[in-house]
Amino acid sequence: METENSTVVTEFVLLGLTQSQDAQLLVFVLVLIFYLIILPGNFLIIFTIRSDPGLNAPLYFFLGNLAFLDASYSFIVAPRMLVDFFSEKKIISYRCCITQLFFLHFLGVGEMFLLVVMAFDRYTAICRPLHYSTIMNSRVCYAFLLALWVGGFAHSIVQVALILHLPFCGPNQLDNFFCDVPQVIKLACTDTFVVELLMVSNSGLLTVLCFLGLLSSYAIILCRVQGQSSEGKKKAVSTCTTHIIIVFLMFGPAIFIYTRPFRAFPADKVVALFHTVIFPLMNPVIYTLRNREVKASMRKLLSQCSIC
């Protein structure tokens, strides 16, 4: 803290994931192994899609962007968390905290919007196959991509703007391993009831609406494929199942965190760990493992690299 005319918080102390040294060591090893294995896999997915001319359909274009978003998202929290395991006092400056919060919501909401776009892509491909190439042309794909980036930026700016107007004069201990709205807002030296309602309506309502919209769209798709041939039905069901798994992995923790009053629950930190570190890295891998074309292209790419 810094003292001028009044006491103003210029840094926060992160209490971390757990106070147990043994538990910290276990989590550090598991997260590091997971991070070092899955993160290169995400970059391999991006490189495979970019290098194979056969993977030029909108589905693969969006999958590559999902892998990029998830890899970028994992850099916001995980590296600092791993370093903080060895720090006796985990300190983050006010500016770094706001920056972390901004990118957390910027990329997180961008990914939510991307999943909505991918659901629309699958709906068009399965329910309107004759018009698919006309509707999902390259110009539309890039327009969707621009829209999700702009939407994520606008959402994150609102979050940060509301935080910046709050006075922080102490205490400065954040009961978490990273900066996020629910924890930061508790430390404000003013009544935050209205701000909490705005935060919940902004993040929570948006998350729930996207979640319900996605589930509804996939339910419609599954109903429409009932009359198709067995091969087409099998492929459509497989694709939709993969998307639904990702939707639950992405939106389940987000709904738990952002759609309830800002009260602390014992499971908060564990849910936050999966939401910010584990699940983002897994999403593209789950898509890839259930996609024969990407797996075949990846094996071909790896075999070429081994020959070289």
* Cα dihedral value 141, 108, 249, 269, nearest 10: 170
Superfamily of domain 11-295: Rhodopsin 7-helix transmembrane proteins (1.20.1070.10)
C-alpha 254/C-alpha 233 separation (Å) is 31
Can you give the length of the chain in residues?
308
Taking CA 61 as the corner, what is the angle to CA 60 and CA 62, rounded to the nearest 5 degrees? 90
C-alpha 55/C-alpha 288 separation (Å) is 12
DSSP 157-225: HHHHHHHHTS---S--EESSSS--HHHHHHT-SS--HHHHHHHIIIIIHHHHHHHHHHHHHHHHHHHHG
The DSSP bridge pattern shows strands 11-14 and 173-174 to be: parallel
**DSSP 8-state assignment for residue 54:** T
Q: One digit per residue, pLDDT tens: the chain, 308 residues?
A: 443 334 488 899 998 888 888 888 888 888 888 888 778 888 888 888 888 888 889 989 998 999 899 889 888 988 888 888 888 788 999 999 999 999 999 999 999 999 999 999 989 988 888 899 999 999 999 999 999 999 999 999 998 998 888 888 878 888 888 998 888 988 888 888 888 888 888 888 899 999 999 999 988 888 888 766 666 677 778 778 888 888 898 899 999 888 876 677 778 888 888 888 888 777 777 777 777 788 888 888 777 776 65
Q: Which two tokens stand for residue 302?
A: 């790896």
Taking CA 92 as the corner, what is the angle to CA 91 and CA 98, rounded to the nearest 5 degrees? 160
CA dist 43 → 1, 258, 267 (Å) = 40, 30, 31
Sign of CA dihedral 292, 294, 297, 298: negative
